Amino acid sequence: SQQGEEDPQALSIQEGENATMNCSYKTSINNLQWYRQNSGRGLVHLILIRSNEREKHSGRLRVTLDTSKKSSSLLITASRAADTASYFCATDNSGGFKTIFGAGTRLFVKA
């Protein structure tokens, strides 16, 4: 079953612009994570936000969480060509054993 669904499926922007990706989920969660995947590689954890947090920052990343709307957004500011990757949200509502990943947003940053 798919818990997190990212929107848009694909995003193409110019270097220096901001990129915003959204994630919606269906059931209540303990936390929500964002991961990044470079083409043909494994996923890399970016940031985790707990259900009682509304916003979190890490470098050029800003994540928001709205539990009333069951949605989250990932903002990458001042994007670089090296940010080109797929980004996945992942939700956990069962003690960490069954983290559920969405289908991902493919981000392409043009130099």
Partner 1 sequence: DVKVTQSSRYLVKRTGEKVFLECVQDMDHENMFWYRQDPGLGLRLIYFSYDVKMKEKGDIPEGYSVSREKKERFSLILESASTNQTSMYLCASSFSYGGQAKNIQYFGAGTRLSVL
Residue type, 87: Y
Cβ contact 41:88 at 8 Å: no
> Across 38-97, where does the E strand assignment appear?
43-50, 55-58, 61-66, 71-76, 85-92
- Does the protein bind partner 1 through residue 54 (CB under 8 A)? no
- Does the protein bind partner 1 through residue 75 (CB under 8 A)? no
- Does the protein bind partner 1 through residue 25 (CB under 8 A)? no
- Does the protein bind partner 1 through residue 99 (CB under 8 A)? yes
- The pattern of x and - marking residues 79 through 98 that bind partner 1 according to CB under 8 A reads ---------x-x-x---xxx
Residue 80: in which H helix or E strand, if any?
none
- Does the protein bind partner 1 through residue 10 (CB under 8 A)? no
Which of the stretches 19-27, 55-63, 77-85, 100-108 binds partner 1 when contact is defined by CB under 8 A? 100-108
